[in-house]
Structure 1
Amino acid sequence: MSQPRIGVYPGTFDPVTNGHLDVIVRAAALVDRLIVGVAKNDGKGPLFKTDERVAMVADEIAHLPDRALAARIEVRSFDVLLMNFAVSVGARLIIRGLRAVSDFEYEFQMAGMNSHLNPDVETVFLMSSDRHQFISSRFVKEIGWLGGDVGHFVSPRVVDRLKARFAEQDHAAAQVVATPG
């Protein structure tokens, strides 16, 4: 019996977007098991903590209409070198999503470095679907923070999480301003 094909789709998912979900679904169709790796990556100053992002991605996967596909997807956090994470979960494939030509150069360099670190783990690029090529978590956060409608870019569940987080931050900012100095 052959070994299952395990792939890793890594990212910060801060927040998870419809573009991420599109790649997750398409990547899961290519492997027997897909591990969505949520990178801790505090250096990027994430809006959501790692455990919140893991829960958010897991919630989105739980709502996928294809239950058999969703059952083959697992969400895990990691805070080690991506190649070490891939090896630790038995992955032979790293899936990277590309939105535009500007993504390619960085991803190409990363794939080359990963290949030098471990030539047994292959990197595969999936182009974003046309309707998702312009979506980025950074833009979703900026638009949402400024009161714009992000409902076309993320699920209603993620919209609710964003609203709650922005309300918390507004409240925290109000507390700082209201505190006598």
Structure 2
Amino acid sequence: MSSPRTSTVVLPGSFDPFTLGHLDLARRAAALAEHVVVAVSHNPGKKNLLDLETRRSVIAETLQAEGLDGRTEIRTLGRGLLVDFCREVGAGAVVRGLRSQLDLAYEEPMARMNRHLADIDTVFLLTDQNLAHISSSLVREVHALGGEVDDMLPPAAVAALADVS
């Protein structure tokens, strides 16, 4: 039995840096939909480790290396509502990863609000158990303290982090 498909989904995040967990979500989102819009959030008031263009470049290089570049598009997500962005790109759903119950507690109210505001569903994908300990914030912290993070990131992200060290 085949699963229902929506033509376009949005995978939003800051992706600072883009991790193997993010890559796994992008792969799995591409299996669910014909087109995946990776929406890189941009908040000028927030201090990011990697600037917006570097994050976009890392994602593009990674998705191309995975053969997903023909099915994905990388866009900048501004300050507006995610549901407005979804309407703009014609997405029927948002894809989010869940590492734990804490992620669900954080994500559930937003998913319900997106559904209320614009009838946009959220598809939650359980993170691969081998990647569940990886988050961008922990990668940034380990990297800042001199720890090894190469096994948590795709090669393009490793190179980008080396450039900011």
Same fold at TM > 0.5? yes
CA drift of 1:57 comes to: 0.8
1: distance between equivalents of 2:86 and 2:8? 9
Deviations 1:148-174 (A, max 9, x none): 1101100232112112112xxxxxxxx
* Residue of structure 1 in register with 2:107 after alignment: 107
Deviations 1:52-103 (A, max 9, x none): 2111111110110xx3x43111111110211111110000111011111110
SS at match of 2:151: coil
1:11 maps onto 2:13 in alignment: yes
Distance change (3 Å), C-alpha of 1:100 and 1:71: same
2: distance between equivalents of 1:43 and 1:56? 22
CA drift of 1:46 comes to: 1.2
1:91 maps onto 2:91 in alignment: yes
Matches within 5 A, 1:42-121: 42-64=44-66, 67=67, 69-79=68-78, 80-119=80-119, 121=120
Task: Return structure 1 stretches of 4+ with deviation > 6 angstroms.
Answer: none
2: distance between equivalents of 1:106 and 1:21? 21
C-alpha root-mean-square deviation of aligned residues, in Å? 1.5
CA drift of 1:43 comes to: 4.1
Higher strand share: 2
Larger radius of gyration: 1
Matches within 5 A, 1:116-135: 116-119=116-119, 121-135=120-134
2: distance between equivalents of 1:55 and 1:115? 31
CA drift of 1:136 comes to: 0.3
* Residue of structure 2 in register with 1:174 after alignment: none
TM value normalised by structure 1: 0.84
* Residue of structure 2 in register with 1:161 after alignment: 160
CA drift of 1:21 comes to: 0.2
CA drift of 1:50 comes to: 1.5
Distance change (3 Å), C-alpha of 1:107 and 1:4: closer
- Which protein has greater RCO, CA pairs closer than 8 Å, 6+ apart? 2
Higher helix share: 1
2: distance between equivalents of 1:123 and 1:154? 25
Percent identity over the alignment is 39
2: distance between equivalents of 1:44 and 1:96? 21
8 Å contact from structure 2 (residues 98, 127) kept in 1: yes
* Residue of structure 2 in register with 1:172 after alignment: none
SS at match of 1:152: helix
CA drift of 1:4 comes to: 6.3
2: distance between equivalents of 1:96 and 1:41? 19
